[in-house]
Amino acid sequence: MKKFLLFFFFLSLVLACTNQGDVCKGPLEGFWELQYYEWSWDDTTVTWTMDEWNQQTKIFGKDNYAFLKMGPAWKDSMALTIYGGKGTYTLTGDTLVETVELWDWMAMIGQSVTFRVEFRGDSMIQTGPITADVPEGWESFQLMEVYTRME
C-alpha cells in the first residue's frame, strides 16, 4: 500500500517518461530508490541505510524531477514524517544540475544545485557539495546518495 501511494504521489508531480508506453529514455529518466546516503559538514557525518521505515524515491522525467522521503519523526518515535520536493534538471555528461522549485526548506527554492552522477549498472551515485545559498554552518555540506533503478 505504501509503495502504491508513493507511486501516485510522484505521478501527480512529474509526468513519467515513456517510449511506446514502457521504456524510459536517457540514463536518469525513471524511478530511483535510495539505498544509502552519507551527508557530511564540518566535523559531522551522518550515514543512513534505507529500511521499511526510512525510504526515499526520486523520479526523473524528461526535464523535471521529484522526490519523496519518509522517515521517523524527530520528536515522536511512533510517528513518520513524509516530505518531498520537485524541480527541473539538466544532465550534461556526469554533471547533474537540479533547480529546486518546491521543497520544505524555503531557502533552497529557486536554487540550482550541481552534483556529479555516476552510473554502475542499475545504480546511480549522486555526489557533491551543496554550494547554493545555505543557512549558516552548512557551507561545507557534502552528500553522497546511492540509488537503484526501480522496475
Per residue in 21-69, pLDDT (tens digit) is 444 458 999 999 999 999 887 788 988 888 877 899 999 999 999 999 9
Which segments of the chain does DSSP mark as H helices, in order?
2-13
Q: pLDDT tens digit string along 94-106? A: 999 999 999 987 8
Domains of the chain listed by start with CATH number: 2-16+30-149 (2.40.128)
Structure confidence by residue, pLDDT tens digits, 108-127 = 889 888 999 999 999 999 99
